[in-house]
Structure 1
C-alpha cells in the first residue's frame, strides 16, 4: 500500500453540523425580518383605515351641522345638543345634532356620537342621520357654543393612531331667533 492510497479524500457529500446551524440561524433572522415587515404593514393599514373612517364620519357630521346652521331660522344650544330649525330646499325642517360623551354607559348610550333629524318628543337614540361610531370628545369645554349669530363647534374622534379634529364657526345667513327650543 502506498501512502497516497491511505490518505482519504474529504467527504463533501453532506453538511456539517456547523453549516446546518449557520443556515438555521440565517433562515430564522430572515424569517423574523419578513414577519416584522408584515406586522408593521398590517398595523399601519389598520391605523389608516380607522383614521379614514373617522375623517369621513366627522366630515359628514360637520357638513350637516354647517348646512343646517347656515340656513337656520332658529337655533338653540343646550349642553351637548344643537337644535336648528332650518330651511333647506324651501322646506322648514328641524334638525338636532348631539354628542354622547366618550365615557357614557354603553348600555344606555350604544352610540358615541350622532346627528340627524328628530320629531318632537322622539328619543335621541331614534334620530336618523349621520352617526359617528368611534369615541368622540369635545375640543374645549363644550361641543357647541352660540354667540349672537354664530355657532361654533369643536370635537375630536379617537382613532388607533391620533385623534381626528373637527372645528368650525358658522355664521347664520338668515335673520333668526336664538334660544328657546326651535323644534317644539
Structure 2
C-alpha cells in the first residue's frame, strides 16, 4: 500500500462539523419559509371566510328589505332613519306587517303575529351604520334607500374590512294603502 492512502479507511468517511452546520442552516431557512407561507395562507383563508360571511349576511338583509318594499302598500320611516315599517300586500297574515330596526349593531325585525307588540327580536347581528348615513331614507313616495355595513362574526379579531351595502327598494304599485292595521 502506498503512503498516500495509509490514513484513509472506510470508517473515516463522513460529514465534517462545518458541513452539518451548513445543512442545519439550510433546513432552518427552508422550514421558516414553509411556515411563513402556511401562516399567510391560513390568514388569507380566514379573511376570505370573514368577507364571505359578511357578504352573505348583508345580502340576506338587503333581500328581505327589498322583498318587503316590493310587496308594500304603505311604509314609513321613523327614529331618524333607524326604523322602517312596512304594510305589505302579502295576505298570509304572518308577514303582512314587517318592521326593521337597526340598534347598536343588531338588526331587529318584527312581523305581524309576533309574540307581543313592541318586542323586537334580534334577527341579524354584526350590522352597523355606514358612517353617519341613516339606515333608511325615503326616496319619493314609493321608495326607500337603505345603507349599512355588514361584518363577520369574529370581526373584532379579524382585520377584514366591513362589506358596504346600499340600495334602493321600491313599491311595485303606487302607494294604495295605509299603515293600519299594522302600527
Shorter-chain TM-score tier: 0.7 to 0.9
Please give the alpha-carbon distance, in whole angstroms, between the structure 2 residues aligned to 1:59 and 1:86: 20
Deviation at 1:134, TM superposition (A): 2.3
Contact 1:73-1:177 within 8 A present in 2 as well: yes
Tell me how far 1:98 sits from its aligned partner.
1.8
Pick the aligned partner of 1:151 from 127, 141, 144: 144
1:134–1:158: 8 Å Cα contact kept in structure 2?
Answer: yes
Structure 2: any 5+ residue segments left out of the alignment? Answer: 153-157
How many angstroms does 1:156 deviate by?
Answer: 1.2
Gaps of 5+ in 1: 103-111
Deviation of 1:114 after TM superposition, in Å, equals 3.6
Q: Does 1:96 align with 2:99?
A: yes
CA offset digits 1:58-88 (Å, max 9, x no partner): 1111011001011111211113111111112
Per-residue deviation, residues 107-149 of structure 1 (Å, max 9, x unmatched): xxxxx23435253623213x6xxx4332522355200011322
Number of aligned residues: 169
Match of 1:115 in 2: 109
CA distance in 1, matches of 2:5, 2:167: 94
TM-score (norm 2): 0.78
CA distance in 2, matches of 1:85, 1:69: 9
> Is the 8 Å Cα contact of residues 73 and 174 (structure 1) preserved in structure 2?
yes
The 2-side partners of 1:37 and 1:117 are apart by 49
Q: Name the TM-score, length of structure 1 as normaliser.
A: 0.77
SS at match of 2:129: strand
- Distance in 2 between the 1:177 and 1:23 partners? 82
In the TM superposition, residue 99 of structure 1 has moved relative to its aligned partner by: 1.6
Structure 1 residue 3 displacement after superposition: 7.8
Structure 1 residue 183: Cα displacement: 2.1
Following the alignment from structure 2 to structure 1, what is the Cα–Cα distance between the partners of residues 180 and 26?
Answer: 72
Residue 5 of structure 1 deviates from its aligned partner by 6.5
User: What residue number does 1:162 align with?
Assistant: 161
> What is the rounded CA distance, in whole Å, between the counterparts of 1:48 and 1:139 in structure 2?
24
Contact 1:54-1:132 within 8 A present in 2 as well: no
2: CA distance between counterparts of 1:45 and 1:153?
30
Structure 1 pair 71/3, CA: closer, same or farther in 2 (3 Å)?
A: closer
